[in-house]
C-alpha cells in the first residue's frame, strides 16, 4: 500500500487518478485549486486529460460529456463556482450520469478567500445528488474512490464537499490499488439524455426514487455511524457532527476529559432510521457542522416532538464562521456544564497586515491613471470584479466602488449607464472577462452603451496561482473586436509608472466618449515573470 | 511525544516550505502528522499562518486550540506577537528579527521587542537575514529560523536536515548545501531574549 503526504485537495486528486480517470475539468478558486493542479501534474503519467476550462459551467458540461461517453470524470471548483455551474449540475441530477461523475467542490467557512460562506450541501440536496463530507485527508481519498463506483452503480453525479481545513491541510494518506476499467461504452439512450418536458416528467420521479435508494445506502454506509461514549457524562445529551466537526469535538472531549454519544455523518442524504435510533432517549442534541445549519434545519423539523436542538439556529455555537477547536471546547463545555480550562492571554494591540497588490503590479498603474482621469469627471463609479485587482478597493488606491461576483462588473456598468450614471467604468482581469464578461460585453456592444470597460490583461489568472487564461494579448484584442466593439474605441495601454500621464489622458478621452469604449491594459503579472525566472 | 507548532510570517516568506521540511522529518521518524495552511488572498503580502501537529498518538484535528501550542516559529517579529496567544504558558517563541514593514503603522522595533519580552514566554531571536546572507543567500532566511528552532521541535536535527534536502532537491546540490548551511548556522545563532 502506497503512503503519501497529501493535502486534502491532493488526496481527492490522487484518488481520482487511482480510480482510472478519463478527464479532469475545473476552474481555479481557493480552496479548490490544488485538486486540479495535482491532477494536471500527473495527467500524462496516468493517461487522462486535464485542461482548465473557461468557467465552472463549461467545466461541468465538459465533465458531463466525458461521463456520457462512459469515462470517469471529475470537475473541480470552489463553492461559489457551483453557483456558476448550477444549471448543468441541477439538470444532471435529473438526467443522471453514465461514467462516474464527481463534482469536487471546496467550501470556505470563515471566508478566508471568498465572498460568502455558502454551503454546497444544499446544492446536493436541491439537485437530489448524493454528497460526501470527508473529515480527514484519508477520508477524502477513500470517499473519492468510493464515489466513482457509487456514481456508476446509481447512475448519478456525486458531490464531494470539502472545506478549507481539509482542502489545505496535509497528512499521510494510504492509497489503494488502481481500479479496473469500468467497462462502460458510449451512452445511447435519448429518452434519458434529451431533457424534453415529456422525458423530464418521467426522469424527475425516477431521480426522486434514486434519491430514496441513496437514503437507504446512507443508513448502512461506513461514513454514517453512532459513536457511543465509553463513559458518557450525560446519557440524555448527544452531539451530531458532520465532516470536520467530528475532529474538533474529539479534540474538545480529550481536552475537557468528558464525552457523550456522537452521531457521525459523512454521507448525505441524511439517514432517517439511524438518526431516529440516535435520538432515542435524548432530550438535547448539539449540531456541530462546518457551514450552514444543513442537518440542523432538517432535525429542527421535529421540534415539539423530538429533543431540544442546539446549534447555529439558536446561536448556541454561533451563527457564522469556521468551526475550530476553540469553538468546540467552548460549546462542549457549555453543552455539558463542564469547566473550561483557563489560559493566560497576552493583551497587545497589533496593527492588521491585510493582503495587498504586489510591489510593481501593473494593476497599481492602471488604477492610478484611472483615478487621475476620474478626478475631473463626476459622477463616476468603478464597478470591479473578483481577482487580485479587487485589492484596488483598499487604501491608498481606493479605486473601486463595487465587487460582487465573477463578471458582474460589465453587467453592472451597463445597468448603471442605462440608469443614467454619467461615467460608468467596469474593470476586470483577462481571466474573469473570459470566465463571464464576454456575453455581457456582447450586449453592451450591440447597444453601444456609454460606458468604459478596462480589461487588465496580465496574461494569467494570478490570484489563484497563475493558471493560464484563455486569451491574452493580440488574441484577446481580436476577441473583443469580434464582439462588435467599435475599433476606434478599442484601445491598448501599457500600465507603467512612466506612462501615468499619457494613460490618464487616454482613459479620460474614452470616458468622454458617449458610447462603448474598451481599454486593454496589457502588462504581464510580476508573479509569473518571477516564476519563469526560477523555473 | 506531542508537539503543536505555529508557524507565522508574511505572505511570500516561505512558512509553508518550513512546514513541509518539518513534515518530512516527522514522517521519517514515524510520527503522526497534520499540517494546516491558508492559501489564496493572504499570500499577497498579508499575515500568514501554518499549523503543524506532531504526535506518536492519534491527532484529532488539523488545528491547534488557543493557549495550547508548544512552539511558535515566526519569520517576522510583529507576526510572532500576533500569534502569541496560541502558545501555552510554558511555550517557546523563536522569531526572526528583521521586520517586514509593508504596512503604514508598523510599530517601533523597540516597542515590538519590549512586548515580546513582556509576553511571559521564553523568547529566542535570530538575525536570520545576516545568517542567511553568510550562508549564501538571503532567500534562506526561513531555513535559518528553522535552524534556530530546531532544538525545540522534538525531532532529530538529522531528520530535519533530510527534510530540507528533500524540499530543495529539485533545485540542485548547491541550493541544498546552502540551505543546510543556513540551518546549521541558524542553530548556533539563536539568542535568548532576556526579560
Asked if B60 lies within 8 A of A33 by C-beta distance, the reply is no
pLDDT tens by residue, B100-139: 999 999 999 999 999 999 988 999 999 999 999 999 999 9
Q: Does B47 touch chain A (CB under 8 A)?
A: yes
Q: Does B106 touch chain A (CB under 8 A)?
A: yes
Average pLDDT, chain B: 93
b/e map A388-407, b = 16+ CB within 10 Å = bbbbbbeeebebbebbeebb
Asked if A355 lies within 8 A of B11 by C-beta distance, the reply is yes
CA angle A33, A36, A37 (to 5 degrees): 80
Contact A418, A444 (CB under 8 A): no
Asked if A351 lies within 8 A of B103 by C-beta distance, the reply is yes
| Confidence check: pLDDT of B12 > 90 | no
pLDDT tens by residue, B138-187: 999 999 999 999 999 999 999 999 999 999 999 999 999 999 999 999 99
pLDDT, mean of residues A283-304 = 88
Find the residue in B nearest to A243 (Cα).
Answer: B61
- Out of B20, B38, B47, the one facing A168 most closely (by C-beta) is B38
- Out of A168, A343, A353, the one facing B67 most closely (by C-beta) is A343
Contacts of A310 (CB under 8 A, 6+ apart): A284, A285, A286, A287, A316, A317, A331, A335
Beta bridge partners of B71: B5, B92
DSSP A161-222: EEEHHHHTEEEEEE--PPPPP--------HHHH---HHHHHHHHHHHHHHHHHHHHHHHHST
CA dist., res. B139 & res. A307, Å (int): 58
Residues of A in contact with B41 (CB under 8 A): 30, 112-113, 355, 463
**What is the distance in angstroms between the Cα of A3 and the nearest Cα belonging to chain B?**
11
**What is the distance in angstroms between the Cα of B58 and the nearest Cα belonging to chain A?**
10
- Chain A segment 96-115 residues within 8 A of B by beta carbon are 112-113
Find the residue in A nearest to B59 (Cα).
Answer: A251
pLDDT tens by residue, A516-530: 999 999 999 998 887
pLDDT, mean of residues A102-109 = 97
Average pLDDT, chain A: 95
User: 3-state SS of chain B?
Assistant: CEEEEEEEEECCCCHHHHHHHHHHHHHHCCCEEEEEECCHHHHCCCEEEEEEEEECCCCCCCCCCCCCEEEEEECCHHHHHHCHHHEEEEEEEEEECCCCCCCCCCCCHHHHHHHHHCCCCEEEEECHHHHHHHHCCHHHHHHHHHHHHHHHHCCCHHHHHHHHHHHHHHHCHHHHHHHHHHHHHHHHHCEECCC
Give the Å distances, CA to CA, from A355 to A391, B41, B89: 8, 6, 30
User: Which range, of A152-161, A295-304, B167-176, averages the lowest pLDDT?
Assistant: A295-304
Contacts of B133 (CB under 8 A, 6+ apart): none
Task: Please report the pLDDT score of residue A221 as a whole number.
Answer: 96
Asked if B84 lies within 8 A of A255 by C-beta distance, the reply is no
- Structure-block grid coordinates of residue A409: 462588473
Beta strand A490-493 with A516-522: parallel, antiparallel or unpaired? parallel
- Out of B33, B82, B119, the one facing A171 most closely (by C-beta) is B33
Task: Please report the pLDDT score of residue A201 as a whole number.
Answer: 95
Find the residue in A nearest to B24 (Cα).
Answer: A5
CA dist., res. A90 & res. A61, Å (int): 12
Contact A491, A508 (CB under 8 A): no
pLDDT tens by residue, A9-55: 999 999 999 999 999 999 999 999 999 999 999 999 999 999 999 99
- Structure-block grid coordinates of residue A245: 466537526
Task: Please report the pLDDT score of residue A412 as a whole number.
Answer: 98
Task: Please report the pLDDT score of residue A528 as a whole number.
Answer: 84
Asked if B64 lies within 8 A of A325 by C-beta distance, the reply is yes
3-state secondary structure of A81: helix
Which class for B134: exposed (0-12), middle (13-18), buried (19 or more C-beta within 10 A)?
Answer: middle
- Structure-block grid coordinates of residue B171: 533545485
Task: Please report the pLDDT score of residue A348 as a whole number.
Answer: 82
User: 3-state SS of B101-157?
Assistant: CCCCCCCCHHHHHHHHHCCCCEEEEECHHHHHHHHCCHHHHHHHHHHHHHHHHCCCH
Query: A-B interface: how many C-beta pairs under 8 angstroms?
Result: 135
For chain B, the first-to-last Cα distance in angstroms comes to 29
pLDDT, mean of residues A55-70 = 98
- Out of A346, A355, A358, the one facing B84 most closely (by C-beta) is A346
- Structure-block grid coordinates of residue B40: 489564496
Task: Please report the pLDDT score of residue B41 as a whole number.
Answer: 64
**What is the distance in angstroms between the Cα of B162 and the nearest Cα belonging to chain A?**
15
CA dist., res. A67 & res. A73, Å (int): 6
pLDDT tens by residue, A412-444: 999 999 999 999 999 999 999 999 999 999 999
Distance of CA B61 to the CA centre of its chain: 21
CA dist., res. B136 & res. B179, Å (int): 8
| Confidence check: pLDDT of A304 > 80 | no
| Confidence check: pLDDT of A500 > 70 | yes
Task: Please report the pLDDT score of residue A296 as a whole number.
Answer: 95
- Chain A segment 56-85 residues within 8 A of B by beta carbon are none
ipTM of the complex: 0.93
Q: Does B88 touch chain A (CB under 8 A)?
A: yes
Closest CA to B84 of A458, A347, A188: A347
User: Which range, of A273-282, A335-344, A472-481, averages the lowest pLDDT?
Assistant: A335-344
Task: Please report the pLDDT score of residue A311 as a whole number.
Answer: 97
Contact A156, A130 (CB under 8 A): yes
CA dist., res. A198 & res. B169, Å (int): 61
Task: Please report the pLDDT score of residue B42 as a whole number.
Answer: 62
pLDDT, mean of residues A497-508 = 98
- Chain B segment 132-191 residues within 8 A of A by beta carbon are none
Closest CA to A52 of A434, A388, A363: A434
Please indicate, yes or no, whether the overall pTM of this predicted structure exceeds 0.80: yes
Asked if A355 lies within 8 A of B79 by C-beta distance, the reply is no
3-state secondary structure of A114: coil
- Structure-block grid coordinates of residue A491: 484601445
| Confidence check: pLDDT of A354 > 90 | no
| Confidence check: pLDDT of A535 > 60 | no
pLDDT, mean of residues A322-342 = 95
CA dist., res. A440 & res. A410, Å (int): 6
Q: Tell me how far apart the 2 most distant CA atoms of chain B are, in Å.
A: 45
Amino acid at each position: 500500500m502506497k503512503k503519501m503526504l497529501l493535502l486534502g485537495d491532493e488526496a481527492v486528486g490522487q484518488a481520482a487518478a487511482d480510480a482510472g480517470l478519463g478527464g479532469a475539468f475545473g476552474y481555479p478558486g481557493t480552496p479548490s485549486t490544488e485538486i486540479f493542479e495535482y491532477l494536471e501534474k500527473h495527467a500524462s503519467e496516468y493517461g487522462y486529460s486535464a485542461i482548465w476550462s473557461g468557467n465552472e459551467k463549461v467545466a461541468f458540461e465538459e465533465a458531463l460529456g466525458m461521463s456520457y461517453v462512459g469515462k470517469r470524470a471529475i470537475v473541480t471548483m470552489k463553492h461559489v463556482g457551483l453557483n456558476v455551474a448550477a444549471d448543468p449540475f441541477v439538470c444532471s441530477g435529473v438526467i443522471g450520469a453514465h461514467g462516474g461523475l464527481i463534482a469536487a467542490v471546496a467550501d470556505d467557512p470563515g471566508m478566508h478567500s471568498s465572498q460568502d460562506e455558502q454551503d454546497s450541501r444544499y446544492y446536493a440536496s436541491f439537485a437530489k445528488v448524493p454528497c460526501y463530507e470527508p473529515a480527514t485527508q484519508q477520508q477524502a481519498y477513500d470517499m473519492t474512490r468510493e464515489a466513482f463506483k457509487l456514481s456508476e452503480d446509481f447512475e448519478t453525479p456525486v458531490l464531494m464537499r470539502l472545506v478549507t481545513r481539509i482542502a489545505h491541510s496535509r497528512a499521510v494518506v494510504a492509497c489503494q490499488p488502481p481500479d479496473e476499467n469500468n467497462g462502460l461504452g458510449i451512452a445511447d439512450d435519448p429518452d434519458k439524455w434529451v431533457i424534453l418536458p415529456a422525458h423530464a416528467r418521467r426522469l424527475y420521479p425516477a431521480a426522486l426514487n434514486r434519491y430514496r435508494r441513496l437514503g437507504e445506502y446512507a443508513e448502512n454506509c461506513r461514513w454514517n455511524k453512532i459513536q457511543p461514549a465509553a463513559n458518557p457524562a450525560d446519557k440524555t445529551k448527544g452531539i451530531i457532527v458532520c465532516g470536520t466537526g467530528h475532529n474538533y469535538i474529539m479534540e474538545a472531549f480529550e481536552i475537557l476529559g468528558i464525552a457523550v454519544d456522537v452521531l457521525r455523518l459523512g454521507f448525505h442524504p441524511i439517514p432517517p432510521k439511524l438518526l431516529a435510533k440516535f435520538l432515542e432517549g435524548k432530550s438535547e442534541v448539539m449540531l456541530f457542522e462546518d457551514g450552514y445549519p444543513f442537518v440542523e434545519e432538517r432535525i429542527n423539523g421535529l421540534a415539539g416532538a423530538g429533543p431540544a436542538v442546539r446549534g447555529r439556529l439558536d446561536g448556541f455555537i454561533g451563527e457564522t464562521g469556521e468551526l475550530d477547536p476553540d469553538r468546540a471546547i467552548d460549546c462542549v463545555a457549555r453543552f455539558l456544564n463542564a469547566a473550561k480550562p483557563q489560559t493566560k492571554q497576552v493583551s497587545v494591540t497589533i496593527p492588521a497586515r491585510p493582503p495587498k497588490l504586489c510591489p510593481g503590479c501593473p494593476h497599481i498603474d492602471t488604477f492610478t491613471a484611472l483615478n487621475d482621469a476620474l478626478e475631473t469627471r463626476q459622477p463616476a463609479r468603478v464597478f470591479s470584479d473578483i481577482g487580485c485587482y479587487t485589492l484596488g478597493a483598499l487604501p491608498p488606491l481606493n479605486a473601486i466602488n463595487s465587487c460582487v461576483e465573477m463578471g458582474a462588473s460589465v453587467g453592472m456598468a451597463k445597468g448603471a449607464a442605462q440608469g443614467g450614471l454619467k461615467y460608468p467604468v467596469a474593470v476586470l482581469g483577462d481571466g474573469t472577462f473570459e470566465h463571464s464578461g464576454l456575453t455581457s460585453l456582447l450586449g453592451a456592444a450591440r447597444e453601444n452603451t456609454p460606458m468604459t470597460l478596462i480589461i487588465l490583461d496580465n496574461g494569467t489568472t494570478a490570484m489563484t496561482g497563475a493558471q493560464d487564461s484563455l486569451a491574452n494579448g493580440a488574441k484577446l484584442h481580436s476577441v473583443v473586436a469580434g464582439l462588435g466593439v467599435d475599433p476606434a474605441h478599442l484601445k491598448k495601454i501599457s500600465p507603467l509608472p512612466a506612462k501615468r500621464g499619457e494613460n490618464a489622458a487616454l482613459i479620460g478621452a474614452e470616458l468622454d466618449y458617449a458610447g462603448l469604449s474598451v481599454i486593454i491594459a496589457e502588462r504581464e503579472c510580476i508573479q509569473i515573470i518571477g516564476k519563469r525566472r526560477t523555473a | 511525544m506531542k508537539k503543536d507548532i505555529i508557524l507565522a510570517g508574511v505572505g511570500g516568506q516561505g512558512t509553508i516550505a518550513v512546514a513541509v521540511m518539518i513534515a518530512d522529518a516527522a514522517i521519517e521518524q514515524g510520527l503522526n502528522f497534520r499540517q494546516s495552511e491558508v492559501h489564496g488572498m493572504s499570500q499577497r503580502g498579508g499575515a500568514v499562518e501554518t499549523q503543524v501537529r506532531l504526535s506518536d498518538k492519534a491527532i484529532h484535528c488539523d488545528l491547534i486550540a488557543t493557549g495550547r501550542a508548544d512552539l511558535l516559529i515566526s519569520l517576522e517579529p510583529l507576526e510572532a506577537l500576533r500569534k502569541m496567544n496560541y502558545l501555552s504558558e510554558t511555550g517557546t517563541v523563536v522569531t526572526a528579527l528583521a521586520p517586514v514593514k509593508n504596512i503604514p503603522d508598523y510599530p517601533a522595533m523597540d516597542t515590538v521587542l519590549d512586548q515580546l519580552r513582556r509576553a511571559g514566554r521564553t523568547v529566542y531571536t535570530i538575525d536570520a537575514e545576516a545568517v542567511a546572507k553568510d550562508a549564501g543567500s538571503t532567500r534562506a532566511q526561513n531555513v535559518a529560523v528553522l535552524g534556530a528552532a530546531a532544538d525545540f521541535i522534538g525531532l532529530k536535527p538529522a531528520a530535519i536536515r533530510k527534510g530540507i534536502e528533500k524540499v530543495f532537491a529539485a533545485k540542485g546540490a548547491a541550493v541544498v548545501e546552502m540551505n543546510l548551511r543556513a540551518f546549521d548556522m541558524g542553530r548556533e545563532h539563536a539568542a535568548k531574549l532576556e526579560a
